[in-house]
Amino acid sequence: MLTTRSIDGIEIAYERHGDGQPLVLLHGGMAPRQYWHPVVPHFEEYAAVIPQRPGFGTCLDDHDETSADAVLTREAQYVRGLVEAVDGDPILFGHSYGALTAVQSATDAAVDAVLAYEPAVLPDEFRAEADLADRMATLIEDGERQEAVKRYIEQVLHPDGIDDLDAWLAEWPVWPDCVELAEEVVRMNRAVERYQLPETLDVTAPVLVMTGTDGPNFLRESARDVHEALPHSRLVEFDGVSHSGPGEAPKRIAAEVDAFLSGHE
């Protein structure tokens, strides 16, 4: 593991695989950096940089009323630290909350391009009713950490329901280790529930926004909203792919990424 520091002094540990243009891979809420390991072989021409993020909105305490914009700004600082630590202009590739962080970071970081798979942005009508952070926090306070994480998985990964969640979890590579992230996921969800997408995102780099037909409908809607708020973006929808797109269909996504990046060389 290598280390660097963000602008505000947070130490960031990260892996680096291969040579070439840096490709910074930013994981989402329930996934540790190991989420990207099956994806890396599909991007052999790049130097994959995989940080273990220093928290998901950790500056936002459970009952802090700090604005989501301020939280996300601080959250993006570690990405800018990575951008400064690597040679050349990197590409940011984020999944879910990592995708939102990537887009936000690109507003004032020197990056070559941004790849954003289903940024964690809630449509206004959905955000008005969102209470996942509160429900998870209550379960954690009651000592039900695994149940808290299951509520997140049910809502984000299986919004249309699942017949046997425990059987699915038994095959999920990050279960039950991801339960350790429960408090961080609550903080992340509070930031997401407070975040309002601006009419225009000030990102000069080209952005590929991706979504899948089998993921939550509200995230598909949000992907379109993010695409429309960006001045230089392309929207791609993968048929039969869920919110776990990068890990679920890395070959298909890598092919689309290659085509997108080749068109902007």
| pLDDT for res 55 | 53
Mean pLDDT of 196-210: 95
d(CA 58, CA 56): 5
Domain around 115: 2-122+198-262
- Provide the pLDDT confidence category of residue 197 given band limits of 50, 70 and 90: very high
**Which band of pLDDT confidence, cut at 50, 70 and 90, is reported for residue 77?**
confident
Q: Does 147 map to a domain? A: no
Contact between 134 and 189 (Cβ < 8 Å): no
pTM of the model: 0.87
pLDDT of residue 67: 53
**pLDDT computed for residue 3 by the predictor:** 78
| Structural domain includes residue 101 | yes
Residue range 204-240, pLDDT digits in tens:
999 999 999 988 888 999 999 999 999 999 999 999 9
Residue 53 has a pLDDT of 66
| 95: nearest Cα among 228, 245, 233, 201 | 245
Whether residue 134 lies inside any domain: the answer is no
- Predicted pLDDT of residue 56: 43
pLDDT of amino acid 1: 75
Instruction: Confirm whether 139 is domain-assigned.
Output: no
For residue 34, give every residue at least 6 positions away whose Cβ sits within 8 Å of its Cβ, in sequence order, or none: 173, 174
Which tops the pLDDT comparison, 97 or 1?
97
CA-to-CA distance for 144 and 243, rounded, in angstroms? 25
Segment 13-65, tens digit of pLDDT: 788 999 999 999 998 876 667 778 889 999 999 999 998 765 544 433 444 44
Alpha-carbon gap, residue 177 to 169, rounded angstroms: 11
**Residue 108's CATH number:** 3.40.50.1820
- Between 80 and 150, the more confident residue is 150
- What is the rounded distance in angstroms from the CA atom of residue 49 to the CA atom of residue 180? 23
Distances (CA, A) of 165 to 101, 150, 162, 169, 238: 29, 8, 6, 6, 24
Percent of the chain having pLDDT more than 70? 89
